Structure 1
Amino acid sequence: MLLEVLFHDLQDLAQIRDKLNPIFNHLGMKLSQPTEKRLPGRPKEASEAELLRYEALWVDTFRGLRDGNPEIETEVPAGSSMFIKRSGPGQEQLYIEGFGKPPRVIRQPKFSTTPDELRSWRSRVQKEQDQFEEAMLDPAPVRAKVAAIPSERRLWEALKRADNATRVRRIYSQSNIWLKPRLEFPGGGFIEHWPFRRILYRDAEAFCLAKLDPRYPGRDQRKSGDYRRVEYLARVMAGLTVRLAPSTAVEMLRKMKHTEQCICWRCLMQIAPRFPISLARYLAEGNWFR
C-alpha cells in the first residue's frame, strides 16, 4: 500500500521549532512512502548532519514528554494544507486538510471496476489535487493559534528510572502522544510520521545501558539537570537511530565543530557549542517556543 503525500507548509524557524517534527518538514514536495512499519536501514556511514537531525528530533521528543507544548500564536500561510492519497489493494482514499477547514476523507466508491467508473474516479482525484495545488499558490500569511499538546511527565519520570528493556518497552507502549510513531487521522487511517521513535522500543536494552555511563547526569538535582538528561538521552537515541554506539554518538556530538557558516538547528537557535548558552539552560528558561 502506498501513500502519496503533498504538503504545503511554508514555515519560518520559530514555526519549525513548534512542530513535533522540526527537521523533516516537506515544503511543497510530493512523496511516496509505504505504510508498513519500517525502521531506517543501516547507513554505510553515519554523517554528522544525519546525527544532528536525529539529535534535534529526540530532544524535542524527550522535552515534549517532560513538558508538553504550550498553546502558541504564530504566523502561518493561509494555504497550509495536506493532501494524501492512499492506494493499494482495495479502495483508494483521499485525505485533504486545508487551513481553516475541517479535514475531508474521500473514498473510492465500492465496486468501481468498469473502465468508465475508474476514469470517473481518476478524474475526481485529479480535480481535487488541482484544486489543492491552486490553493497553494501565493498564500497570504495569517495569525493562528497552535493548540497545546500535553506532556506525559509520568512516563518521562518512569523512563529515567527504568533499568531494564521490559520496563522501557512498557513505558513506550503506554504513551499516547510523545513516543507514538504514528499520526492518526480523524476519519481513520494513519501515516508513519515519526518512525524514528520505534528505535526506543527496538533498542530498549542499549538505552538502559547508556544510563550507566558516567557521563549520564543522573544525579544532577539542579533545575537544568533534567534538561541535561534530555540532551544526553537524545544523543544516545540519535546514535542508536543511525546505528552508532551510544558512547560514540555522545562523543561525536559533544566534540563536533560548528563554523560561522553552520546552519544546523543548534546554530540557528544560537546555543552551544558555537554560542555560550547551553541547551539545558535554553530549555530550562523556556526558550524552545520563543
Structure 2
Amino acid sequence: MNPPYRGRLAPSPTGYLHLGHARTFWIAQQRAQAAGGTLLLRNDDLDRTRCRPEFVAAMVEDLRWFGFDWSEGPDIGGPDASYNQSERLPLYIAAFEHLRTAGFLYPCVCSRQDVLRALSAPHQGEEEPLYPGTCRNASPDHPRPGVNWRFRVPEGETISFTDGAIGPHAEIAGRDFGDFLVWRKDDLPSYQLACTADDAAMRITEVVRGADLLTSTCRQLLLYRALAEPEPAFYHAPLMNDEHGVRLAKRHDALSLRTLRERGAKPAELRAAWNAVL
C-alpha cells in the first residue's frame, strides 16, 4: 500500500520569488491536489549571508496572494515543525554522523578555486565542479567544523530514476558528477544533505522542482540510499525563460511576484500567460 501523497514547496528566502518559481510551485500544488494529498511549505533559509527576514515575510505573502494553500508550514506549524531549516540543525548533524560512521564521507581542505585549477577542462555554470579526488583518502577522524566534507560517490555506477515529467534519466557517478559537498567548513549542511534529510523526515512522497536540479537528484538518491531512507518520486518541471530566452532568476525583479503584485497583476491572468513565455 502506497503512503499518502505528501508534497512540498521549498523556496529559499534569498530574494523575491519570481514567476518561474510560481509556475513550478503551481505544478507541485496541482499534483498534490490531484492525488488528494498534503502540501507543506518549508523555508529553506540555511544561507546565513543571503537569507533575510523581509524575504521570508514576502515569500509567504506573495505565495498566498498567488493562490497557494498549504496545510503545514512556518506560518501555521504542523506535525513536522520546525519548517525553518535554520531550526533543524540537530537533524542534519544526526544525518552527517550516520554517513561518517558508515564510511561515506571524508574531510576536504580544497577550496573551490583549488578544485577549478585541478580540472583539465574549464567549468561553466552554477553546477558543482567535478571534484578531482585530492582529499579522497583523508581520515574521517576530524572535528566536523573547519573543513568541508564530501560524499564519496561510487565511481562508474549509473544512477537512474524515472522522472514524472521527462521520463527515464541517468547519470554516471564520477563522470557526470563527482564527490559532492555534504557539510561546509562554516559548520552548516550543504543543500544536498539538508534537502534529503528534510524530505525524508517530512515523509515527502514526490519532489517537484525545476529541471536544473536533475543532477542534484542523482546526488540525493545516493544520500537516500546511504541513509537507508525510502526514495520519493521526482517531477522536474521545465524552466521558464524571459523574452530573451534567458532563464528566470531572482535578479529578474520585473517578473518577481512582489513587483507584479504591486503593479496590479492578477494571478489568474499570469497563469494564463505562462505558455507564451515558455
Same fold (TM over 0.5): no
Q: Given the two structures, how large is their TM-score scaled by the length of structure 2?
A: 0.25
Larger radius of gyration: 1
